[in-house]
Amino acid sequence: MPTTKESWRAKEWTSSLRRIRSPWLLAILALLLPAVALFSMTVGTVSISFVDAWHAMAVSLSADSQAVTSQTQVILFDIRLPRVLLAMFVGSVLASTGAVMQGLFRNPLADPSLIGVSGGASVGASLVIVFATGLFGSSVVESGVLMGLSLVAAGAFLGGFVATILVYRLATSGIGTSVTTMLLAGIAIGALAGALNSLLSYFADNDMLRQISLWQMGNLSAASWSKVFIMALVSLILLLRFPADSAALNALLLGESEARHLGIDVQQVKRRLIVLTALGVGVSVALAGMVGFVGLVIPHVVRLLIGPDHRWLIPCSALAGAILLVIADSLARVVVLPAELPTGILTALLGAPFFIVLLLQQRREV
Amino acid sequence: MTLAAHNISLHLSGFDLLRNVSMQVQPGAVTAIVGPNGAGKSSLLRVLTGEMAPTAGEVIFNQRPLSDWPVQLKAQMLAVLPQHSLLNFPFTANEVVGLGRIPHQTGTNRDAEIIADALKLVDAQYLQRRFYTQMSGGEKQRVQLARVLAQIWLPCEHGEQFLVLDEPTSAFDLAHQQLTLDIVRQLASRGVGVVMVVHDLNLAARCADNLVVFNGGEVAAQGSPEQVLTEQLIDQVFGVKVTIARHPATNKPLVIS
């Protein structure tokens, strides 16, 4: 029947035209991010109108502002601005590393946590919470010890680092790093980390337990300017370095030997991207706890919109991840006023249904 | 200036995959490799393309040991089409073929022309904007063929170019099989050295200048199809009794089983 064939062709055309042109998406996201960030500045327990926010910013930017430190300004610049910026940088790092990992593993459902960094980080954090609190008391653990970072953050970063090295070593042999083995090693190390975490929770007292579970939910409320600077630096390193490997990631989607035949030093690219991802996710998790779903959902959605070309996928994912986390964090501040929800709960609540809709849609198309 | 294997042996986890294999791929000629399953054809391709280092022997590529060439220069001269592709991301055909231009710095405009021409050559220009993941097996294979053609579309100043194809026609209908053979002959007349693994002996006889028959990791015979394809050899290598006739139009050997 020619008619069915024609309509089948037509359907394929429309589905291929569903894509947005990449530069357009990048431009839209780049415009959306400052708007969302500005909006987020006005949201919270104390609601500040746009006009007041503008005014406060204008005053602080003008030269004769030393005397003026109104309550509005304190809220805006000491509490909300660092928090919004931290959300932006954490979101961009999680989403861009997610895109990179999905490319490297040739699996659209891969996640930065696959290389073991999140599991390791949570064990590191739990270890510090349980043992250091027992040894020194909670005040030392919570107060700043290193450039405004808590011991918990340092423990998380170290834990994530050790776990990544373990996973990488397990998957690397004389002939190179096997991505499949790495996936399995990541699952194994993740399971081990889960067990260690449960063990630590079992021995923890009530106070520690609450601290552990709050940390695992991911929280941006403890944002400070020192955290923002560290996160901004990491985000900058990643986003400046990733474009150079975008073509290599595109070629890797064909398969590793095909990428090699296209002149790409696969082993070097793999090692570099894993180190950068471990750095990015390690620092994000250390500073903001476990914020899930951003690294999985954002690159996936962006890929549906513009296709898998990493030259556009990575920057668009970074912007979209920043936007999602800023929105999620704004909601976290207001949904249960006057209290606050941990941000990680919001990203999962927003991300999971969205992801399910996408899966259903894909199932219908196939 | 050739792609040549000198006394190659490949020993892998207790198995002798290749034993003392020597062969040459000449630029401007088509070399076909035939042989039963497990004879070592794909292993030879892996060694010839530098994917695996031989246990003994040496591969010489454009007068230098293959492993001495920097990866990017090598990619400008040697394109490889694998039997199966792992690609399961929704690139369009244009984007897949564009990957073949990664080793080159010819600029976006020139690349776009090459991509369009390569797709046209393999009769796949209608696929340009379609998603690779939604194509049929034959369409995918044609797009992949266009990708490796785009990789060696322009001559390279560093040396002769070679194209390695692992069963390029396995998913093709008759018309596209013929098209592929025509493309291969065109490339050879342009000076490219083509080496391909094929299963169809008649297809190999029709297209190849040089035929290499593999059996048990060794070269059983090599030479022109007329010299190599004998009833005795096919019985010895494949264990099948056949009759060799002459193709009425091309006068090439025709294997009738």
CATH of the domain at A334: 1.10.3470.10
Interchain contact, A253 vs B89, CB within 8 Å: yes
Question: Among A140-149, B106-115, B172-181, which stretch is predicted with the lowest mean pLDDT?
Answer: A140-149
Residue A266 corresponds to which tokens in the numbers above?
């696969």
Minimum Cα–Cα distance from A103: chain B residue: B89
In order of B113, B202, B248, the CA distances from B232 in angstroms are 49, 16, 22
Q: Is residue A14 situated within a structural domain?
A: no
pLDDT-derived band at A242 (thresholds 50, 70, 90) equals very high
What is the spatial distance between Cα B199 and Cα B181, in angstroms, rounded to a whole number?
Answer: 14
Greater confidence, A333 or A30? A30
Contact B134 A12 (CB under 8 A): yes
> Amino acid identity, residue A364?
R
Predicted local confidence at residue A247, as pLDDT: 94
**Is A149 a residue whose pLDDT tops 80?**
no
What pLDDT is recorded for position A280?
92
Mean pLDDT is highest, among A9-18, A141-150, B237-246, for B237-246
Helices A310-334 and A225-241 sit at what angle, rounded to 10 degrees? 160
Query: With bands split at pLDDT 50, 70 and 90, how would you rate the model's confidence at A362?
Result: low
Amino acid A142: pLDDT? 53
In the predicted model, what is the mean pLDDT of residues A58-65? 62
**Averaged pLDDT score across all residues of chain A:** 82
Q: Which residues from A are below 8 Å from B140, CB to CB?
A: none
Alpha carbons B63 and B54: distance in angstroms, whole number: 18
Q: How confident is the model at residue A31 (pLDDT cuts 50, 70, 90)?
A: very high
Average pLDDT taken over every residue of chain B: 92
- E strand segments, B26-166: 30-34, 56-61, 64-65, 78-81, 162-166
In a domain, A102, yes or no: yes
Query: If you average pLDDT over each of A5-9, A107-111, A281-285, A335-339, which comes out highest?
Result: A281-285
pLDDT band of residue B171 (cuts 50, 70, 90) is confident
Answer yes or no: is pLDDT of B106 > 50: yes
**Comparison of pLDDT for B257 and B158, the residue scoring more:** B158
Residue B145 to residue B122: CA distance in whole angstroms? 7
- Evaluate whether residue A167 is within a structural domain: yes
Per-residue pLDDT band at A6 (split at 50, 70, 90): very low
Lowest-pLDDT choice from A63-72, A257-266, B122-131, B186-195 = A63-72
Cis peptide before A342 (omega within 30 of 0): no
Contacts of A302 in chain B (CB under 8 A): none
Can you give the pLDDT at residue A131?
Answer: 82
Q: Do B130 and A16 touch (CB under 8 A)?
A: yes
Q: Is the Cβ–Cβ distance between A158 and A124 less than 8 Å?
A: yes
Which tokens go with B206? 């029709």
State which residues form the domain around A270.
21-41+81-360
Does residue A66 lie in a domain region?
no
Average pLDDT over residues A241-269: 93
Buried b (16+ CB within 10 A) or exposed e, A123-139: bbbbbbbbbbbeeeeee
Confirm whether A16 is domain-assigned: no
In the DSSP assignment, the letter for residue B108 is H
Give me the number of domains chain A comprises: 1
Question: Which pLDDT band holds residue A335 (cuts at 50, 70, 90)?
Answer: confident
Question: How do residues A314-334 score in pLDDT, each as one tens digit?
Answer: 999 999 999 999 999 999 888
- Asked if the Cβ–Cβ distance from A263 to B91 is below 8 Å, we say no
Q: What confidence category does residue A13 fall into, taking pLDDT thresholds of 50, 70 and 90? A: very low
Closest CA to A159 of A282, A260, A50, A272: A282
In this prediction, the answer to ipTM > 0.95 reads no
Task: Give mean pLDDT, residues A65-76.
Answer: 66
Residue A351 lies in a domain: yes
Number of domains in chain B: 1
Of A58-72, A93-107, A264-278, B50-64, the range with the lowest mean pLDDT is A58-72
Containing structural domain, residue B88? 3-256
Q: What does the pLDDT read at residue A18?
A: 52
Percent of chain A with pLDDT over 90: 32
The secondary structure of residue A76, as a DSSP letter, is I
pLDDT band at A187 (very low <50, low <70, confident <90, very high): confident
What pairs with residue B5 in β-bridges? B23, B59
pLDDT at A129: 83
Q: How confident is the model at residue A219 (pLDDT cuts 50, 70, 90)?
A: confident
Q: What is the pLDDT of residue A203?
A: 85
- Residue A103, CA atoms < 13 Å, CB-side half-sphere: 34
Contacts of B102 in chain A (CB under 8 A): 247, 250-251, 262-264
pLDDT band at B18 (very low <50, low <70, confident <90, very high): very high
Question: What pLDDT does A64 receive?
Answer: 54
Say if CB B176 and CB B146 are below 8 A apart: no
Which chain A residues are Cβ-neighbours of B75 within 8 angstroms? 261-263
At CB < 8 Å, which residues of chain A contact B?
12-13, 15-17, 106, 108, 247, 250-251, 253-255, 257-258, 260-265, 303, 307-309
**Contact, B67 vs B53, CB < 8 A?**
yes
Query: A221 near A207, Cβ under 8 Å?
Result: no
What CATH number does residue B99 fall under?
Answer: 3.40.50.300
Of A17, A262, A265, the CB nearest to B99: A262
Average confidence (pLDDT) over B189-199: 94
